[in-house]
Structure 1
Amino acid sequence: MVKAMSAVPLYKQIVNDLMEKIDGGVFKEGDKLPTETDLMDQYDVSRITVRAAIKELEDADMVERTRGKGTFVTMKRDTYAADDRESFTHSCMLSGKKPSTKVLQAGWVYPSLKDMRFLGVREDENILQTRRLRLVDGVPTVLETNSYAPSLSFLDHEDLSGSLLEVLESHGVSLGSNERTLQVCFANGYEAENLNVETGAALLLFVDKRCDSEGQPIFLSRQVYCTERLKFYL
């Protein structure tokens, strides 16, 4: 049961409970979760609260929703390395293009489930998050959302309208391994507005889990690329 008087939001309590059941094997890969109505009855909460919890789990790739069928525990998929040897800024310059960056948002937020699992932060611990629009020759091309580990809190006072990697290196942060995943996604309203594409347009999503040279997680990056404007090589 959830605790109405807890400082932790109701939907977060449901997320934590379902996550424990998934990690503990109560719900296995491919299993169908209870319906929204069943979860409302089980936790004695509103439909809005249940949907917020499911959305959080979906964003963390722990569940998948299938229209007309329900919500299922995500099946593990094979992943393939995508080349990340060049930064966005450097890649543009090598192609003779002019890169630029517009910082859309920068501030302190409560971490999502995905942030907590990678960065190792608590749900009540604020983290710095930025949203940046990357442009090529003035044309919106990439929408990037970064969540940073507490060790990078100094970025709150930095100019992030250029290369993030160069800023980190200037502070003595040595970059280490990066786990990158790649998949097709479809533009939501916010992405469509900023990338100047139609809602539902096919986009390419990169998710980077970057560590420092000592193997400590330093930031989680979600980058949505407009496929109409870029080609990739591996």
Structure 2
Amino acid sequence: MEEPMYIKIHNQIKRDIENHVYRVGSRIPAERQLALKFGVSRMTLRQAIKTLEDEGILERRLGSGTYVASQKVQEKMSGIMSFTEITHANGQTPSSKLISYHVGKPSLSEKERLKLDDSEEILRMERIRYADDVPICYEVVTIPHRLIQKMSKSDISSHLYQTLAKSGYEVGRVTEHISAAVANENAARLLDARKGEALITRLQVTELTTGEPFEYTRASYIADRFEFTFSK
């Protein structure tokens, strides 16, 4: 299956950053210039840029442009609960809405985070997470297709970890990167929020007890609707 054009653009911009064509903290060319360079519509270009923003590689600054993200201070934390567990603990009812569900080739970031071979495919799904029917989080979840190809779409999108456990897999270490951002037009629309509203962004890689990464999640939370509590 051929890579979508926005993934090809995502991969090329990421390579350019790794090769110091665009340096940390520098502004990348305007959308119009990049769309012309790659010979695509601005909508396709924006999809590539949005994916890089979700991964923390680029950051948009209101009224200024899009920049290669600066390295952020990272703090190791433990005792992290899942969205469902936290929602239940708060006496609320969790639910989710599946936006997209697609099997195909991974982006470079997905390939690196999940330690995939060149021939491997991934499942990429987007969903909105709710607490008492209030949209809290927009997330993109990527999973190696070989791990879940015999599982149903409903089981994967609704209760992945329980389904993995039934198939003999055991969840191990979780690595989280938490940072701050603001809602762009797409996030504001999906989460019923205002453009520019404060977000908490989370990049998560979850491993099996064997050390094999099986899930890469990029999530955006509305800051005034959700908080993280950590214990060391």
Band the TM-score falls in, shorter-chain normalisation:
0.7 to 0.9
Is 1:81 the counterpart of 2:76? The answer is yes
8 Å Cα contact 1:127/1:148 also seen in 2? yes
Match of 2:106 among 105, 111, 116: 111
Rounded Cα–Cα distance in structure 2 between residues aligned with 1:137 and 1:194 = 16
- The answer to whether the aligner puts 1:95 opposite 2:90 as a matched pair is yes
TM-score of the aligned structures, taking structure 1 as reference length: 0.73
**Alignment length (residue pairs):** 227
Q: Which residue, 192, 199, 207 being the options, matches 2:195?
A: 199
1:57 is displaced (CA, Å) by 5.0
Counterpart residue type for residue 229 of structure 2 = Y
Alpha-carbon RMSD: 3.6
| Pair member with larger Rg | 1
CA–CA distance in structure 1, aligned partners of residues 84 and 120 of structure 2: 31
Instruction: Kindly provide the amino acid, as one letter, of the partner of residue 148 in structure 1.
Output: I
SS at match of 2:196: coil
3-state SS, counterpart of residue 118 of structure 1: helix
Say which SS state the counterpart of residue 178 (structure 1) adopts.
strand
Match of 2:129 in 1: 134
Instruction: Output one character per residue of 1:146-176: Cα deviation in whole Å (capped at 9) or x when no partner.
Output: 0111323334544345433222222221111
TM-score (norm 2): 0.73
Q: Percent identity, aligned pairs only?
A: 28
Distance of 1:40 and 1:100 partners within structure 2: 37
Amino acid at match of 2:213: P
Residue 3 of structure 1: aligned partner: none
Q: For residue 228 of structure 1, what is the aligned residue in structure 2?
A: 224
- Higher deviation after alignment, 61-70 or 80-89: 61-70
Deviation by residue 1:132-157 (Cα, 9 ceiling, x = unmatched): 22221222222222011132333454
Equivalent residue runs for 1:1-234 within 5 Å? 19-20=14-15, 22-23=17-18, 29-30=24-25, 48=42, 57-64=52-59, 73-83=68-78, 85-121=80-116, 125-150=120-145, 151-160=147-156, 162-234=158-230
Task: Please give the alpha-carbon distance, in whole angstroms, between the structure 2 residues aligned to 1:221 and 1:231.
Answer: 18
CA distance in 1, matches of 2:12, 2:190: 35
Distance 2:45 2:191 in 1: 31
Q: Cα deviations across residues 31-55 of structure 1 (Å, max 9, x unaligned)?
A: 66678899799x7857858777666
- Tell me which amino acid in the other structure corresponds to 2:128: L
- Rounded to whole Å, the distance in 1 between the matches of 2:131 and 2:72 is 32
* SS of alignment partner, residue 180 of structure 1: strand
Q: Give how far 1:104 is off.
A: 2.6
Structure 1 unpaired stretches of 5+:
1-6
